[in-house]
Each structure stands twice: as structure tokens, then as C-alpha cells.
Structure 1
Amino acid sequence: MKAVVLAAGQGTRLRPLTEDRPKALVEIDGKPLLTYCLDELVSLDAEEFVIVVGYRKEQIIEHYGNSYDGVPITYVHQEEPAGLAHALLQAEPEVDDDFMLMLGDNVFRGNLETVVQRQREQRVDCAFLVEEVPEEEASRYGVCVTNKYGEIVNVVEKPDDPPSNLVMTGFYTFSPAIFKTCSLVQPSDRGEYELSDAIDLLMESGRTIDAVRLDGWRIDVGYPEDRDAAERRLSEETPTPTTDGGTPGSSSTSDD
């Protein structure tokens, strides 16, 4: 699949880290935030990146060039910050089949491949990762409304009074049907064209939607403290060297 990455945001909540750079290039443990997204998508066999850029786009284009880790990059421009559905629509001319979508401000460690498998094997029109977050944090995300059987029947973008603490995480797969519903979305109370509203329209039209529980962790880097939290989690993954240059529990030889 192609992989669309939304990286047009200004990152106003991340200031002062974004005063002189786009949000996608804020460094987490020595690497730009967008690099973590691209690494995950490379591991999922992305055949091409379609990166939606906006704020200080020239810095992103200069940093990554025409390809990343052997995967070609196409850039498309969102001229104004009008919401995720609007950003995704900018990628429509470059996508003609099922595709992955990642919001470019997340650091993931988990079962993203399960979402891709659902799209490939079950031919759904939308699959996405969900996770439970503390109730006080749910209003930051697209919140899932479920029925008594636990089925998702609605999603609400950043509600003041969240109906649940089950939220979308920022990784999706879609069929091209999502572009039609994105084009039908009306501005929300926030004045933006919301991706959650486009997914709702898919549900209402009888399209097949599948939600996968996140098995792992994910940090949405929206505030400076989120960046710090992501660095702490990533540092926990870094092996501690031993005095002989190896890692605890490892042998002195390697097949690498």
C-alpha cells in the first residue's frame, strides 16, 4: 500500500519548539518526529509515501528529499490548516487504491500490522487502532461511541464532554471511499473539516469499519511534556551497554 502522512500542522501547542521549524521536525531522542512515522511505515512495506505538508514545508522537503529508506516520496501541499479531512483530500490525486494513513505527530510501538492485515484480508473500507486513555485526556482525540455490544457506532472529534475514553490513535487504513466522504464533510464547531466526521459518513453509508485495540504504546506529541514522555519511553528501549561493549544477556558473537 501507499502511505499518506499528514505533516502540515503548525504545532502551536508545542511552542517554543516549533517557532523555527515544523512540528514534524521537532526532535525526539535525537531524531525528527516524522522519522519515527516513516520508519514504522517502512516496516509495514509502504510502497510510496505521500506526505501532506504545509507550515514551513520547505524544511521537510529539504530534510527528506525524494525518498526515505528506498521508498519514494511525493509531497502535496495543504495551503491552509483546515482540518484532517481537508488535509487528506489533498492526497487524493496520488492515491488510487487502499492505503495507510498516519498522523505525523505520533510515536508508535505496537500492532500496526494487524490493521493492515484487516484491510488486505477482509477488504474493509476503514480500519484503525483504538486505545483507552485517562478520561481527562479523551477530549484531545477522536472519541469512539460504542453500543451495548461494544461496537463502535460513532466517533466524535475532541468533544468537550467525551462520551467514552476509547479514542482513535492516529493510524488507519482506508479504501478510496474515504475521499468521497471527506469531500462531503461540513466544518465542525471548531471550524475544521474533521476526519472523524468522514468516518461517520462511511458508517452511515453502510461501509465496513473495523477497530483494532492497540497492543503496545503510542504517544501523541501535542505538547512539550509529550515530547519528554516520548523520549523517556524510547530511552527505555535502548539497550544498556556492558563493560565489554555488548548488552546485558547477549553473547559476545553476532550473526549481524
Structure 2
Amino acid sequence: MQGLVPAAGRGTRLGALTDERPKGLVEVAERPLLAYAFDAAIDAGVTELVVVVGYEGAQIVDRFGDAYRDVPLTYVHQRERLGLGHAVLQAEPHVDERFLLVNGDNVFADALDPVVEAADSPGVDGALAVESVSREVARTTGVLELDDGTVTGIVEKPDEAPSTLVTTGCYVLPPEIFRACRLLRPTAEGEYQLSEAVGLLLHAGYTFETVEAGDRVNVNTPEDLDRAAALVS
């Protein structure tokens, strides 16, 4: 199984920590943040990783080289940071099968095997790692639309959240996601949202299972670094 790790961002909310290095190389418990995403993907069965780099991306290439834990690494460059949907499209020439996507700034406490296993169920096209949040938090991210427990869509940063289940930056996606990403229109901020591309597949009849992600930290601030370090200690 192939894996995709988006890691193009600078991480401006980390302040001076990313003045001269990319977000993925900021350390959590004395290890680069990206190492946790790589480990999670490999432990879930990934045998090849495609890494999307951008800001100071050469540093990531220099740090990890062409393999990590004997798993080959392929790098693609996102020259303009235009959202996760745009990042995924940069990897299209290197991905030709269903793949596991793990955001490079996420630290998961639990293994991701259940997400992969859910996607392997008969009649299922993909899987989403999700978590339950307050409705206030749900208005700031991608929220699942549900019909009797079945995922029917995803809405990004809604004024009124249709549920309290949200995406977590971990997906198993079919290769058709690239076609869906090409159909996206930019948001008001000029970004192309992966959650909207998944929503297009759902509306086209594709089936996605959901799996509770367990404890995780999406690292955006210095305080998140402390929380992530506590999670892995």
C-alpha cells in the first residue's frame, strides 16, 4: 500500500521555531514531527511513501534521504500552498492505487491499522479517521454529514455543524480522489479543500467507513508541541 504525507507548510503559528526550518522538522520529544507521521503510516502497512514538501523542503529531503525504516521515500514539491486538495494533486504522478494519507503535522497515540482494515471491508471505497468534538470546534474544520450513521458528505467550516464528527487528517482514499480534486473550486482564501473532494466522491456514490482516531494532536502552536510530547512519552 502506498502512503502520502503532506508536509509543505511553514507552520506560522509556531513562530520563530519555523523561521529557518519547515514545520515537519520541528521536534517533538527530540524527534522531527514528520517522523511520527512516517511511523504511523509504515506501522499501518505502507510500503512506499510520497512526501509533499514546500517551505524549506530541501531540509526535509536532506534529513530523511531516499528511505525511512527501509521504506522508499519519493518527494514532490508544492510550489504554492493552496490547500490539502492541491497538495494531493501534486502526488498524482506517483500514486496509482488506493493510499493512506497522514497529515505531516499530526501525532496519533493509537495505531492506524483499524482505518486501513475498515477500507478493506467488502463494498467499501475508503475510510476516514474521525473524532467527536464540540459543535463550536466543528465549525472550524471538516464536519461529516450523516444519514442514519452513514457518511453522506463532508462540509468544511460550516456556520451550523450538521454533526460533531470531524475529519482528523488521516484517510484511506481511492485513486479517483485525484479526479475529484481537479473538479474543486477554490475557497474564498484561495485554497482547494480535500474534504470537499471526498464529499464529491460521496455524492457520486462512493462508500467511506469511519473509524474513531483515538487520542491525537494536530500540531499548530508551541502549546501543541508540549501536548504532543506528553502524548508520546
Matches within 5 A, 1:137-156: 137-147=137-147, 149-156=148-155
Task: Give the C-alpha shift of residue 162 in structure 1.
Answer: 3.4
Task: Give the C-alpha shift of residue 218 in structure 1.
Answer: 0.9
Task: Give the C-alpha shift of residue 92 in structure 1.
Answer: 0.6
Residue of structure 1 equivalent to 2:180: 181
Pair 1:228 & 2:226 matched: yes
Give the AA of the match of 1:17.
L
**Normalising to structure 2: TM-score of the pair?**
0.94
Task: Give the C-alpha shift of residue 91 in structure 1.
Answer: 0.5
Residue of structure 2 equivalent to 1:211: 210
- Measure the CA separation in 1 of the matches of 2:208 and 2:90: 23
| Runs of at least 5 residues in structure 1 that lack an aligned partner in the other structure | 236-256
| Runs of at least 5 residues in structure 2 that lack an aligned partner in the other structure | none
SS in 2 for 1:189: coil
Please identify, of 104-113 and 94-103, the stretch whose mean Cα deviation from structure 2 is larger.
104-113
Which of the pair has more CA radius of gyration?
1
- 8 A contact 2:109–2:215 mirrored in 1: yes
Pair 1:37 & 2:37 matched: yes
Residue of structure 2 equivalent to 1:24: 24
- 8 A contact 2:7–2:103 mirrored in 1: yes
**Normalising to structure 1: TM-score of the pair?**
0.86
Count of aligned pairs: 233
SS in 2 for 1:110: coil
Matches within 5 A, 1:155-166: 155-166=154-165
Percent of pairs with identical residues: 47
Task: Give the C-alpha shift of residue 160 in structure 1.
Answer: 4.8
- 8 A contact 1:126–1:208 mirrored in 2: yes
- Measure the CA separation in 2 of the matches of 1:8 and 1:70: 23
Residues 170-222 of structure 1 deviation map (CA, whole Å, 9 limit, x = unaligned): 111111111110110111233210001101100111112211122x3111111
Runs of 4+ in 1 over 6 A off after TM superposition: none
